[in-house]
């Protein structure tokens, strides 16, 4: 049961009562007539007669066939009986325009729920309610209020905001972007973003999936299914309300909680979804993805008829982290011979101002043939003597020659390049207003291609002591304790294969000295109290104790101070622990996002945690490759890689220990949804051969 019934129905019934005064039904009907829909249109009108010049029917049954699509634009109270009739009759697809459901309060929500139940019991799929309809340009079906239909093409679009859809449609028409299907998804009562992603993913007319979302309903399912579809088609999403202030606005707009910036960032990365922060960017990318093959790598060649714009393209290539392609010996000789003297064969290739069209064509062909070039940008400025339209035609000819490399264009101007831009857009060569925007589109393609060529995901399962963790967690939850301090946290981590420093609990300074002498100085002393989670802040940690006298002093000071500073704490004793003097401090952590579940974190440890802004997040479960990618994506890695002239630490530092730590953490939080937060800080990693150590840790459990 999918959404194909909505794609190109051969007949559409419209409920629009009261037809005489109701704007909604008449609006849809008018859109359909103006759009040139060639299937059968059945306005349903109890009173009979014609509506907008079309014969109406008193009810569904009197039509004589089961309409393939029903559009319902009735007052809210009349919707449910009509849905019931559609369901009973065997209608498979309905769009409900009407508002006044979940978005208006609990009564509307209950009504919406009952409608969905009716529909699902009979295999009727519903889009909406509270939406502005759908458009199917390939079969000229415009059953919407979203304006006039864009051209048919390869972009499938869905929008949770009616106004964004209306704007997007208007902009798409002006830019001659081609669409396969457009959906206003409204309250997502029966069909949500995942249904649309699935449907567009399976749709042969759709090459690119694009959408605007304010909420995501099911984080886990989103990851799984978006990732699956991304393997074959790019998904370009605007997710608004992601920043802090934005989330407030979303929340007052939809009454639902929005996720956080980091969560969306890493989840989209995992699922291969390309995030866009504006319609402009989304359309810029969609234009390229819909018409061009993916580049095999990041090496871009630029052909320009003018220094200025060419240099700006090169600046953008560098800013985006792409590479300027070098030309092969063969290309250089070929171009030198064909282009004539006075033209330096280099990248960017500066053609003379006059930009004779055949020169553009020669240059472009040579670059398409050069194996050192992955993508090509043609930049043209309209000099008085520039043959803009001829150049555009030459670009179109050359670009369609082979079709195994993306060719993008920027004809920098307005009226003077209008004809040329028309030629390019009409022939599916993506054209951009500025070189910067074209380069950004290439960057998006390169990133997507890289994602697609990832190795297969294999999540490793380590042998662990799951029962022990179960026992600890259950006991704590029974005691209504959700804050686990160092001792319990370390026990849990030990059960999952993490190592902790040698150490022991004690309640007297004499015993402390005995323990210290057993494990050897220097040692660290830490207060142990179930109430004290952040030990350092209240003086509950003493580091670098190197002899007996200092140890006794430190013990006495702690026993004097802590009860004064934190009178409500039950002090069980102090923990005497071997101090780790070698290795690099990292932080490993987990935070359970309300939408996407456990997100693993990696970063530099110690006091730099809060400043470096150098975390990497990734949703669990994680693979070994992904864990290493997390590490590689941080500046911290560069620190290790090139630590101010010293040896390259990445050669000696046990990077695999970090990856393994993240994978074990991933397994722990996947197997124990009761754990809400984990901080392992510091996680000390030395060189290969030495074991990584959890020096301190804390966890928070979900309130049962």
In angstroms, give the least distance from the CB of 520 to a copy of itself: 20
Please select the residue that binds a copy of itself; options are 14, 412, 423, 525, rule is CB under 8 A. 412
- 235: helix, coil or strand? strand
In angstroms, give the least distance from the CB of 390 to a copy of itself: 17
DSSP state of 18: S
Pairwise CA distance, residues 551 & 186, whole Å:
67
Contact 298, 183 (CB under 8 A): no
Given the rule CB under 8 A, which of 33-41, 108-116, 290-298, 314-322 is the region that contacts a copy of itself? Answer: 314-322
Asked if 43 interacts with a copy of itself (CB under 8 A), we say no
Pairwise CA distance, residues 222 & 432, whole Å:
32
Closest Cα to residue 501, out of 481, 479, 519, 478? Answer: 519
Given the rule CB under 8 A, which of 117-125, 242-250, 399-407, 664-672 is the region that contacts a copy of itself? Answer: 242-250
Angle subtended at Cα 439 by Cα 436 and Cα 445, rounded to the nearest 5 degrees: 145
Asked if 27 interacts with a copy of itself (CB under 8 A), we say yes
Specify the residue, 623 or 636, whose C-beta has the smaller distance to a copy of itself.
636
Reading the block at residue 543, the tokens are: 């580091």
Q: How many CB atoms lie within 10 A of CB 673?
A: 11
Instruction: Please work out the total of residues on this chain that contact a copy of itself, with binding judged by CB under 8 A.
Output: 93
Given the rule CB under 8 A, which of 227-235, 307-315, 359-367, 475-483 is the region that contacts a copy of itself? Answer: 307-315
Pairwise CA distance, residues 193 & 170, whole Å:
22
Please list the alpha-helical segments (H only) found in 99-183.
Answer: 106-121, 162-175
Specify the residue, 315 or 330, whose C-beta has the smaller distance to a copy of itself.
315
Please select the residue that binds a copy of itself; options are 145, 157, 602, 618, rule is CB under 8 A. 145
Pairwise CA distance, residues 327 & 330, whole Å:
8
Please list the alpha-helical segments (H only) found in 95-148.
Answer: 106-121
In angstroms, give the least distance from the CB of 186 to a copy of itself: 13
Asked if 143 interacts with a copy of itself (CB under 8 A), we say no
Asked if 437 interacts with a copy of itself (CB under 8 A), we say yes
Asked if 301 interacts with a copy of itself (CB under 8 A), we say no
Which x/- pattern, by CB under 8 A, does the window 560-579 give for a copy of itself? Answer: --------------------
Please select the residue that binds a copy of itself; options are 17, 143, 164, 601, rule is CB under 8 A. 164
Asked if 21 interacts with a copy of itself (CB under 8 A), we say no
Phi, psi torsion values for 702, nearest 5 degrees? -65, 135
Please select the residue that binds a copy of itself; options are 130, 305, 500, 666, rule is CB under 8 A. 305
Asked if 582 interacts with a copy of itself (CB under 8 A), we say no
Pairwise CA distance, residues 172 & 568, whole Å:
64
Asked if 81 interacts with a copy of itself (CB under 8 A), we say no
Contact 72, 96 (CB under 8 A): yes
Given the rule CB under 8 A, which of 187-195, 507-515, 525-533, 632-640 is the region that contacts a copy of itself? Answer: 632-640
Please select the residue that binds a copy of itself; options are 7, 19, 183, 212, rule is CB under 8 A. 212
Contact 165, 232 (CB under 8 A): no
Asked if 159 interacts with a copy of itself (CB under 8 A), we say yes
Asked if 174 interacts with a copy of itself (CB under 8 A), we say yes
In angstroms, give the least distance from the CB of 338 to a copy of itself: 20
Given the rule CB under 8 A, which of 508-516, 557-565, 618-626, 642-650 is the region that contacts a copy of itself? Answer: 642-650
Closest Cα to residue 584, out of 500, 695, 699? Answer: 695
Name residues contacting a copy of itself, limited to 520-549 (CB under 8 A): 534, 536-537
Name residues contacting a copy of itself, limited to 53-72 (CB under 8 A): none
Q: CA end-to-end span of the chain, whole Å?
A: 37
Classify strands 675-685 and 11-15 as parallel, antiparallel or unpaired.
Answer: unpaired
In angstroms, give the least distance from the CB of 219 to a copy of itself: 20
Please select the residue that binds a copy of itself; options are 45, 102, 175, 206, rule is CB under 8 A. 175
Asked if 341 interacts with a copy of itself (CB under 8 A), we say no
Pairwise CA distance, residues 147 & 164, whole Å:
12
Pairwise CA distance, residues 252 & 245, whole Å:
11
In angstroms, give the least distance from the CB of 413 to a copy of itself: 4
Asked if 457 interacts with a copy of itself (CB under 8 A), we say no
Asked if 610 interacts with a copy of itself (CB under 8 A), we say yes
Specify the residue, 213 or 469, whose C-beta has the smaller distance to a copy of itself.
213
Name residues contacting a copy of itself, limited to 120-139 (CB under 8 A): none
Pairwise CA distance, residues 555 & 560, whole Å:
9
Name residues contacting a copy of itself, limited to 667-686 (CB under 8 A): none
The helix (run of H) or strand (run of E) holding residue 628 is: helix 624-632
Asked if 353 interacts with a copy of itself (CB under 8 A), we say yes
DSSP state of 291: H
Please select the residue that binds a copy of itself; options are 341, 415, 479, 581, rule is CB under 8 A. 415
Name residues contacting a copy of itself, limited to 362-381 (CB under 8 A): 381
Residues sharing a CB contact under 8 Å with residue 456, sequence separation 6 or more, in sequence order: none
In angstroms, give the least distance from the CB of 613 to a copy of itself: 6
Asked if 171 interacts with a copy of itself (CB under 8 A), we say yes
How far lies 449's CA from each of 185, 279, 316, in Å? 29, 22, 20
Whether the link from the prior residue into 522 is cis, omega within 30° of 0, is yes
Closest Cα to residue 524, out of 509, 545, 547, 508? Answer: 545
Specify the residue, 8 or 247, whose C-beta has the smaller distance to a copy of itself.
247
Given the rule CB under 8 A, which of 155-163, 222-230, 559-567, 691-699 is the region that contacts a copy of itself? Answer: 155-163
Tokens 């390169």 — which residue?
446
Please select the residue that binds a copy of itself; options are 646, 689, 703, 704, rule is CB under 8 A. 646
Pairwise CA distance, residues 350 & 55, whole Å:
64
Which x/- pattern, by CB under 8 A, does the window 249-288 give for a copy of itself? Answer: xx-xxx----------------------xxxx--------
Pairwise CA distance, residues 22 & 427, whole Å:
42
Pairwise CA distance, residues 484 & 678, whole Å:
9
Pairwise CA distance, residues 567 & 562, whole Å:
7
Please select the residue that binds a copy of itself; options are 182, 242, 492, 701, rule is CB under 8 A. 242
The helix (run of H) or strand (run of E) holding residue 269 is: helix 261-271
């Amino acid at each position: 049961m999918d959404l194909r019934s909505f794609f190109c129905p051969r007949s559409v019934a419209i409920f629009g009562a009261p037809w005489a005064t109701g704007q909604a039904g008449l609006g849809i009907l008018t859109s359909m007539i103006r759009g040139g829909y060639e299937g059968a249109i059945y306005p349903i009108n109890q009173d009979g007669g014609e509506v907008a010049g079309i014969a109406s029917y008193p009810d569904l049954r009197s039509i004589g066939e089961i309409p393939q699509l029903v559009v319902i634009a009735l007052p809210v109270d009349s919707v449910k009986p009509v849905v019931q009739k559609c369901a009973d009759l065997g209608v498979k697809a309905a769009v409900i325009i009407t508002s006044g459901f979940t978005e208006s309060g609990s009564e509307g929500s209950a009504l919406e729920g009952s409608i969905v139940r009716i529909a699902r019991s009979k295999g009727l799929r519903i889009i909406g309610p509270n939406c502005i309809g759908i458009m199917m340009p390939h079969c000229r079906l415009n059953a919407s209020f979203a304006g006039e239909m864009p051209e048919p093409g390869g972009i499938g679009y869905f929008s949770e905001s009616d106004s964004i859809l209306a704007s997007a449609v208007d902009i798409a028409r002006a830019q001659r972007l081609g669409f396969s299907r457009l959906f206003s998804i409204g309250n997502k009562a029966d069909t949500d973003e995942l249904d649309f992603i699935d449907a567009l993913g399976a749709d042969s007319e759709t090459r690119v999936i694009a959408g605007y979302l304010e909420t995501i309903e099911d984080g886990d399912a989103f990851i799984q299914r978006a990732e699956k579809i991304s393997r074959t088609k790019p998904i370009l999403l605007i997710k608004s309300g992601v920043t802090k202030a934005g989330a407030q606005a979303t929340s007052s707009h939809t009454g639902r909680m929005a996720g956080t910036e980091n969560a969306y960032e890493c989840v989209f990365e995992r699922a291969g979804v390309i995030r866009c922060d504006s319609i402009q960017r989304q359309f810029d990318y969609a234009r390229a993805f819909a018409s061009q093959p993916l580049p095999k790598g990041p090496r871009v060649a630029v052909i320009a008829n003018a220094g200025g714009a060419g240099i700006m393209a090169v600046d953008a290539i560098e800013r985006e982290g792409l590479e300027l392609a070098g030309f092969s010996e063969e290309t250089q000789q070929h171009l030198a011979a064909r282009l004539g003297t006075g033209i330096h064969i280099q990248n960017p290739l500066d053609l003379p101002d006059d930009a004779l069209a055949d020169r553009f064509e020669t240059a472009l062909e040579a670059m398409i043939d050069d194996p050192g070039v992955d993508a090509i940008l043609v930049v043209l400025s309209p000099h008085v003597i520039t043959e803009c339209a001829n150049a555009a035609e030459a670009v179109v000819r050359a670009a369609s020659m082979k079709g195994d490399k993306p060719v993008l264009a920027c004809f920098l101007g307005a009226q003077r390049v209008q004809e040329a831009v028309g030629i390019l857009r009409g022939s599916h060569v993506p054209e951009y207003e500025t070189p910067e925007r074209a380069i950004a589109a290439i960057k998006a393609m390169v990133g997507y291609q890289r994602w697609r060529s990832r190795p297969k995901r294999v999540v490793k399962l380590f042998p662990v002591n799951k029962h022990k963790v179960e026992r600890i967690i259950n006991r704590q939850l029974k005691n209504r304790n959700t804050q686990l301090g160092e001792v319990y946290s370390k026990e849990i981590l030990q059960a999952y294969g993490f190592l902790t420093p040698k150490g022991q609990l004690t309640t007297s300074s004499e015993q402390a000295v005995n323990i210290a002498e057993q494990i050897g100085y220097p040692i660290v002393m830490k207060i142990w109290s179930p109430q004290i989670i952040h030990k350092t802040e209240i003086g509950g940690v003493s580091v670098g104790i190197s002899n007996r006298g200092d140890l006794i002093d430190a013990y006495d000071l702690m026993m004097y101070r802590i009860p004064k500073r934190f009178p409500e704490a039950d002090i069980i004793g102090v923990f005497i622990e071997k101090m780790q003097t070698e290795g690099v401090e990292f932080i490993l952590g987990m935070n359970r996002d309300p939408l996407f579940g456990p997100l693993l974190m990696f970063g530099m440890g110690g006091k730099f945690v809060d400043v470096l802004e150098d975390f990497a997040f990734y949703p669990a479960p994680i693979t070994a490759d992904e864990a290493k990618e997390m590490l590689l994506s941080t500046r911290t890695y560069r620190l290790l890689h090139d630590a101010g002239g010293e040896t390259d630490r990445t050669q000696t530092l046990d990077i695999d220990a970090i990856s393994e730590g993240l994978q074990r953490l991933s397994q722990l939080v996947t197997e124990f949804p009761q754990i809400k937060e984990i901080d392992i800080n510091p996680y000390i990693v030395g060189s290969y051969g030495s074991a990584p150590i959890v020096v301190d840790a804390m966890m928070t459990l979900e309130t049962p």
